[in-house]
Amino acid sequence: MHDTIIIGAGAAGLAAGQRLRAAGRTPLILEARDRIGGRIHTDHTHGPVELGAEFIHGERAATWEAVRAAGLRTVGWSDDRRRFASGGEIYAADDPVTSRTAALFAIATSYRGPEISVAALIDSLVALDDPACRFALRWLANLEAADTQLLSAAVLTHERELATSGDTNFHILDGYDRVVVQLADGLDIRLSQAVERVAWDEAGGSVTLVGGGAHAARHLIITVPVGVLQTGRPIFTPPLPAKKRAAIDAIAVGHVIKLMLWFDHQFWPDFVVLSTDGRIVTWWTVASAATPTLMGYVGGPAALEIAALGEQGVISLGLSELSQLFGADAAAASLGGRISGWSENPWSLGAYTYSPVGIGNARAILAAPVGPLHFAGEATPTNGHIATVHGAIESGWRAADEVLAATSRKPI
Ligand SMILES: Cc1cc2nc3c(=O)[nH]c(=O)nc-3n(C[C@H](O)[C@H](O)[C@H](O)COP(=O)(O)OP(=O)(O)OC[C@H]3O[C@@H](n4cnc5c(N)ncnc54)[C@H](O)[C@@H]3O)c2cc1C
């Protein structure tokens, strides 16, 4: 009988584990994959390049605790100088399309009023064929990994107002995987141990593993991504309360495809981030890589369409769109590329969550404990830090604190 079993060795599960360890506990962490980190995963082909989480979002993000403890090097990355490109041509920084796109983005993220989707709000303000409309919607779809027809403008605004992590983004020059290593330090983590069933009652719970094996504990912390929970995995016996299941279904799971392309020289003019009207929606430069590298990013339903092209198809598409943009032979300079999608992977089934119209307080309901079951992960923050590494870390701390508080109330 363990004191606490944590399901999942992503940021939330590892942070929960560290909090319990600091309180003298020895939690058991069960991870389905053969690696730790979950949606943090770093490619090292040409220096660190991120397949999942890439930025620390904010100078006050909880992630900094592990970054500092590990002595990692970081560099600021600002999208203040975001540029836009259409038909292979980059708009001048003072082009009206740039300022009107920024204005629409600001309206959608400072909206107060009856619930309305971001797409409906922006469509009500400008004509659909206005390039600024298209750029703003694609920008928001990318950022939130969302279908903008579903994404709630009011909740998006509220979440952004609540967030206290700060506005500056940072790349971790040594790689995000070093944060994971730091978070995992000293913890009992068992890899390739997928939990198939969770049986529970008021006194505790037990888990059954895919392929056999079982463990029991007084407390369980579940950090399984919402995309996976929505498919009914793991199976809970008895089932989770109807309210909890409804909350899981009410949270939207977003999709992302990342395309990293490595080159032997830089053939593009200096830029930080470029939004295009091509199929690769956004490009940015990657400071942590050892060779000139561009990251292409497609979020929302478009990510699923792009993924259908397959890895070589997406790489060819990216090289062709870069050649068109920069008038250079991108293929000739290419050292290769890689795509990363999270929606097909059975242990994530999506990139990160967003808040659709009608979400209500589903995140708080998901986060609430049920008997010995505690819930953490990027979908559970109620302080606006959703869909981030720091939000996942904070949620792990919160779940661990719940376990500690519940234990201290019980007579020994
Ligand atoms: C493409 C992409 C880009 C992103 N960019 C950023 C960014 O720049 N900055 C940022 O802050 N955040 C970013 N994020 C979000 C961030 O990665 C996540 O919010 C965070 O890593 C989620 O941590 P988690 O612990 O909640 O979930 P996960 O990392 O998904 O961890 C859950 C773990 O549970 C395991 N698991 C699932 N089912 C079972 C089971 N049945 N049994 C055992 N284990 C199981 C999974 O394998 C996984 O390891 C990005 C995410 C993606 C996908």
Q: Regarding beta strands 353-354 and 252-253, do their DSSP bridges make them parallel or antiparallel, or are they unpaired?
A: antiparallel
How many Å lie between the centroid of ligand 1 and the Cα of residue 183? Answer: 14
How many Å lie between the centroid of ligand 1 and the Cα of residue 324? Answer: 34
pLDDT tens per residue across span 62-80: 999 999 999 999 999 987 7
pLDDT tens per residue across span 10-52: 999 999 999 999 999 999 999 999 999 999 999 999 999 999 9
Cβ contact 209:30 at 8 Å: yes
Cβ contact 407:20 at 8 Å: no
Question: In Å, how far are 270, 292, 306, 321, 410 from 278, measured between CA atoms?
Answer: 19, 21, 11, 7, 59
Element (H, E) at 404: helix 389-409
238 preceded by a cis bond (ω within 30 of 0) = yes
How far from each other are the two terminal CA atoms of the chain, in whole angstroms?
15
- Token pair of 110 as six digits: 């400072």
Which amino acid type is present at position 32? A
Give the mutation target among 159, 389, 394 for probing the ligand 1 site: most ligand atoms within 8 A of CB.
389
Report which protein residue has its CA nearest ligand 1's atom 21: 39
pLDDT at 408 over 80: no
Residue with tokens 């993220």: 109
Query: How large is the average pLDDT for residues 325-338?
Result: 96
How many Å lie between the centroid of ligand 1 and the Cα of residue 11? Answer: 7
Give strand pairing partners of 189: 29
Give the mutation target among 159, 192, 352 for probing the ligand 1 site: most ligand atoms within 8 A of CB.
352
- Please work out whether the CB of residue 236 comes within 6 Å of at least one atom of ligand 1: no
Check residue 179 and give its pLDDT: 98
Q: What is the C-alpha separation between 32 and 219, in angstroms, rounded?
A: 19
Burial class (CB in 10 A: 0-12, 13-18, 19+), 9: buried
Per-residue pLDDT band for 409 (boundaries 50, 70, 90) equals low
Cβ contact 223:32 at 8 Å: no
pLDDT at 283 over 60: yes
Residue with tokens 């009608």: 358
Report which protein residue has its CA nearest ligand 1's atom 12: 388
- Token pair of 355 as six digits: 């808040």
- Token pair of 347 as six digits: 């242990």
Q: Domain spans of the chain?
A: 2-75+173-252+355-409
Please give the number of the atom of ligand 1 that sits closest to the Cα of 386: 19
* CB-facing half-sphere around the CA of 367: CA atoms within 13 A: 24
Check residue 412 and give its pLDDT: 47
CA 349 to chain centre: 12
- Token pair of 46 as six digits: 């040409």
Residue with tokens 């923050």: 381
pLDDT at 346 over 90: yes
Report which protein residue has its CA nearest ligand 1's atom 5: 53
pLDDT at 167 over 50: yes
How many Å lie between the centroid of ligand 1 and the Cα of residue 155? Answer: 22
Q: What is the C-alpha separation between 216 and 16, in angstroms, rounded?
A: 18
How many Å lie between the centroid of ligand 1 and the Cα of residue 67? Answer: 18
How many CB atoms within 10 Å of residue 238?
Answer: 9
Query: How large is the average pLDDT for residues 379-383?
Result: 98
Check residue 279 and give its pLDDT: 97
- Please work out whether the CB of residue 183 comes within 6 Å of at least one atom of ligand 1: no
Burial class (CB in 10 A: 0-12, 13-18, 19+), 103: middle
- Token pair of 13 as six digits: 């599960």
Check residue 80 and give its pLDDT: 75
Please give the number of the atom of ligand 1 that sits closest to the Cα of 13: 25
Q: Which fold has domain 2-75+173-252+355-409?
A: FAD/NAD(P)-binding domain (3.50.50)
- Please work out whether the CB of residue 292 comes within 6 Å of at least one atom of ligand 1: no
φ, ψ for residue 391, nearest 5 deg: -65, -40
Query: DSSP E strands: which ranges in 9-62?
Result: 28-30, 42-43, 49-50, 55-57
- Please work out whether the CB of residue 17 comes within 6 Å of at least one atom of ligand 1: no
